Amino acid sequence: MTSAGAGPLCFIKSRVNAAVYQEILEHFMLPSTDELYGDADFIVQQDLAPAHTAQSTKTWFNDHEVIVLDWPANSPDLNPLENLWGIAKRKMRDMRQNNAMELKAAIEAFWSSITPHQCHRLIASMPCHIEAVINAKGAQTKY
């Protein structure tokens, strides 16, 4: 998900270690950012999952000249993707999927309905989220 719109959705069947994460970056993120941003610079925001903070992942980002935003621990209020997944959960709350295939189809349908405007709004809302976290002294916020 970017301020320019949502890239392709990637379902992973295995645990995500650094090697798997780097494959996702290579085969999904890079083509998506090329399509959405062309040669323009962009900054990647990720949480502090072990696959994200592994030395080999840091090397991958350096090798591909991708800038990664420094990220505070335990800060889902400041992650627009978490907010997007919250919207997805609310939209799918009353749907009853009977199996994994139906759940996957519901997620794919939601993901394909995301507009660039929605993504941009979520990114643009981050200053308000940051202010709320500061005012709450790092405690949980309404976001």
Q: Which among 64, 52, 8 is positioned nearest to 32, based on CA atoms?
A: 8
H helix intervals, 12-142: 18-24, 30-37, 50-53, 55-63, 80-92, 100-113, 116-124, 126-135
Q: Which among 89, 88, 114 is positioned nearest to 36, based on CA atoms?
A: 114
Which residues make Cβ contacts (< 8 Å) with residue 26, sequence separation at least 6? Answer: 60
User: Residue 116 domain-assigned?
Assistant: yes
User: Residue 110 domain-assigned?
Assistant: yes
pTM, two decimals, is 0.80
User: Residue 4 domain-assigned?
Assistant: no
Q: How many domains does the chain have?
A: 1
pLDDT of residue 70: 86
**Is the separation of the CB atoms in 5 and 116 below 8 Å?**
yes
CATH of the domain at 85: 3.30.420.10
Residue 111: give the domain boundaries: 18-135
User: Residue 60 domain-assigned?
Assistant: yes
pLDDT of residue 76: 67
Q: Over the stretch 56-90, which tens digit does the pLDDT of each residue have?
A: 999 999 999 999 998 777 776 688 888 898 888 88
User: Residue 98 domain-assigned?
Assistant: yes
* Residue ranges in the chain whose pLDDT is less than 70: 76-77
Between the CA of residue 36 and those of 48, 56, 59, 122, what are the distances in Å? 25, 26, 24, 17
User: Residue 7 domain-assigned?
Assistant: no
pLDDT of residue 66: 95
pLDDT of residue 113: 93
